[in-house]
Chains A and B, each alone.
Chain A
């Protein structure tokens, strides 16, 4: 197009023709108006598409936007001791939660929150791990157990944190702290492993779960049934109103057979020595006390233990996390003698009149090395009563030799040695009750006669746990009934008036050949405390009731099987002191097993602990 030509041409043009221009304009204006109508028509079609065609879809999305179904966690059942003292409670607390979907910049938000509330690295890690099991629109707990100041500080700055909220909840609290840790265990933050063993639907709103102890074993009963809430929220996720509510059913309240006062007595009696005490009522198999020392404060675990606290517990002397009552494997030592003696009597190998002459040394035929008595020069001639009262090894060497290891194994297994007691806690050890078959299976070695001899005094391969030892004595004390011990005494279901009593199941009824044999062994044990030469006569009660008991000494390691077995040469570092007892002698209501690690002599160190526990139990009136 020739620009200059056109410009020149225009210069030659006459005046504007307004009428022509007006017509031209009107055409253009009309064109424009028609285009506008077309545009509005298309736009209207868009609105028809959104509002009529897609109406259902957008209505659903609009409802989804505002209404949210939120799970409501049930309140966890409370736990009491047998006299109604609360041992696990729920206390009001505050936690910080956030909805990842509503938070623009999670990192920045967490950093900003860190200036208001304390947010250590492991709390943030836990949060990151945890949020995987939530939907993006769910509220995910960030920090538990906020302090009053933290709650107040957040309230001031709350407007800065869209999608972040302080939520009140009930936090588990263990008023007795480390005293009951090894029984109750503790609850902790729910993690992926926990979820695999529970009904996930019922745990949608739950943040804590029983990690160990009673809390873990009775998780099903304690947890309760989750409820749901239909709530209306605004775009920030703030709850405006609750539209519907399906109430949760709170967990069962549990009453334990444990008596805090007896537990405390055992705790105090152990003082700062590592050890274990188990007390059981021989009439019903209910556990009265269960102490493992040292212990730790379970409350530290409830809100997510800091790595420093956890390190401190791990590195503390005496392994506080280790539950000695269930997992501690000890040589029973002389505490096994009453059971071996009963085995001899019931099998007819010995009678009340059978005697053995103790010279202080016992020789196996053809073996020059002696098996010793603890008393230099020996005890002279003793029958079963004297053998028990003075703990005469020679008597039991001879008995074991006559009996043989397999018969001893078969009889002692009736009392539950070598197998878990199946009480209501997880992770129990089984101990070792040796036999030829056992040794073949574990060591692929034949059985040697010398091993039978020391098995007769509870040494060598024998390993018992404190709960096992106590439970075996229950059988002896009640005349033949072995229970699966129970810590749970009664449970109260939500809505029920009365608590339902729980009975310890009978594991085995031990056959009684002659009750006189049993009385004989019990008398022997009575003489341990009340006889003139009893090894534990120092704990004899002045008046009121009588105790039957038996002391024992356990070697820490099995390296000295054939030598150095006599108690007088025991070194403090190598020997654990054991004592088992029941009382009152004529109608037993408590059986106690005590282990004091590195305590030395069983009578001197462990027996007073048993006495303290028995006193604590018998000094109380009947329960409830």
Chain B
């Protein structure tokens, strides 16, 4: 499908459908954020700045051909591992040593891993026959397990799971046999009690609270209960923008970060939620479509895995806000305020754009 158009005309190599979806989502998010922050323009400006930086990363990454990413993949992965080890030694942050202070700014090395793990797995599986053979499965598992364990130790179970999941998706997209998938799922279920033992006490409490929030309505159950009240009282059309009482009166915890979806649900109702879900479906669908257009294993696996991981954020966050899943620190992607995750996510979409823009290169 080679076109007879000079290369520069295609610059910038962007997928305008995906970009529109992202911009629409981000604009929607900023409107909700304005309300969720208690009408703080300051917060909205800072979010806009962060999105701007993210979009810049997206733009830059989109111009880099996928094979360059592939060449640099092992180095990026190695760097991530080293930095994770460094947090062990010199990490800063309240309670959880996730942060590295680089003088100018602080960042979470685990963010690198959100990109580096699917990249590394795609890199590893790229030259191999697919569906992967047992030895390849074993090595893949090691690739994803090493950083996941390091991140879980920080402790940041949410990110660790996301990293592990992104690796899992790579394997799935690589055609991992269903019987292996089911076997692993069974193994995971069997290992759950062991997980309980190694969990921190606060993590166990979160699970306990999730199972029965009303047991401690003012303590650990407060978040879930207040969030559900916000969502439920929103109804079909919501209480109106800037009119959510649960949000205005500060009943919703973390209302402009992890629980911003509760604010959206309360003020814009079920319709607002469905519009948001539709935007996410469109973005993820478009991402998977781009993946299927790619011409080599590395690009396919990477694009597919990034898209699916993006969706996992949505699933986990929306599940948490509605009381379906335990409270884990996973933001609503591109809508929640703050976090390095926004830049990482947009950089990921930059890679997707690059794959889309260079889909006709055979390398």
Contacts and interface: CB of A to CB of B under 8 A. Distances in A.
Given A43-B318, A47-B265, A58-B229, A33 B251 contact: no
Interface in B220-259: 226, 228-236, 245-246, 249-251
B277 interface: yes
Contacts of A39: 311, 315
Interface residues of B, number: 57
Contact of A21 (B246, B251, B273, B297): B297
Interface string B53-88: 000000000000000000000000000000000000
Interface string A24-49: 11101100110011011001101110
A51 B236 contact: yes
Interface in B268-295: 269-270, 273-274, 277, 280-281, 284-285, 288, 291-292, 295
Contact of B322 (A1, A46, A63): A46
Nearest to B138: A3
B134 interface: yes
B106 to A, nearest CB: 26
B273 A62 contact: no
A21 B234 CA distance: 47
User: Max chain A CB contacts within 10 Å: which of B135, B233, B311, B324?
Assistant: B233
B249 A104 contact: no
A21 B318 contact: no
A48 B245 contact: no
A40 B235 contact: no
A232 B265 contact: no
Interface stretch (B158-166, B168-176, B347-355): B168-176
Nearest to B280: A40
A59 interface: yes
Nearest to A55: B235
- Which secondary structure dominates where chain A touches chain B? helix
A37 B235 contact: no
B318 A18 contact: no
A26 B290 CA distance: 11
Given A21-B130, A28-B172, A40 B135 contact: no
A159 interface: no
Contacts of B250: 234-236
B296 interface: yes
Interface in B108-152: 127-131, 133-135
Interface string A488-531: 00000000000000000000000000000000000000000000
Q: How large is the interface on A (under 10, 10 to 19, 20 to 34, 35 or more residues)?
A: 35 or more
B308 A24 contact: no
B219 interface: yes
A101 B292 CA distance: 55
Contact of B129 (A13, A22, A29): A13
Contacts of A101: 218
A173 to B, nearest CB: 38
Nearest to A20: B130
Contact of B133 (A7, A54, A57): A7
Interface string A1-23: 10100110010010010100110
Contacts of A18: 295-297
Most buried by B among A21, A36, A57: A36
A43 B322 contact: yes
Contact of A26 (B169, B246, B292, B308): B292
A235 B232 contact: no
B232 A29 contact: no
Q: Is the interface of B mostly helix, strand, loop or mixed?
A: helix
B277 A65 contact: no
Interface in A467-499: none
Contacts of A7: 133-135
Given A24-B131, A36-B281, A47-B273, A29 B304 contact: yes
A240 B249 contact: yes
Contacts of B52: none
A51 B315 CA distance: 18
Contacts of B169: 32
B300 interface: yes
B133 A10 contact: yes
B82 to A, nearest CB: 31
A51 B323 CA distance: 13
Contacts of B277: 40, 43-44
Interface string A271-302: 00000000000000000000000000000000
**Considering residues B284, B295, B301, which has the most beta carbons from chain A within 10 angstroms of its beta carbon?**
B284
Given A6-B134, A52-B235, A55-B232, A32 B318 contact: no
A483 B234 CA distance: 70
B319 interface: yes
A51 to B, nearest CB: 4
B288 A59 contact: no
B304 A32 contact: yes
Interface string B323-347: 1100000000000000000000000
13 contacts: A6-B133, A10-B129, A24-B175, A25-B301, A33-B285, A40-B315, A47-B265, A50-B232, A51-B265, A65-B226, A65-B251, A235-B250, A240-B249
Sorted from nearest, which 3 A-B pairs have the closest CB atoms?
Answer: A58-B232, A62-B233, A234-B249
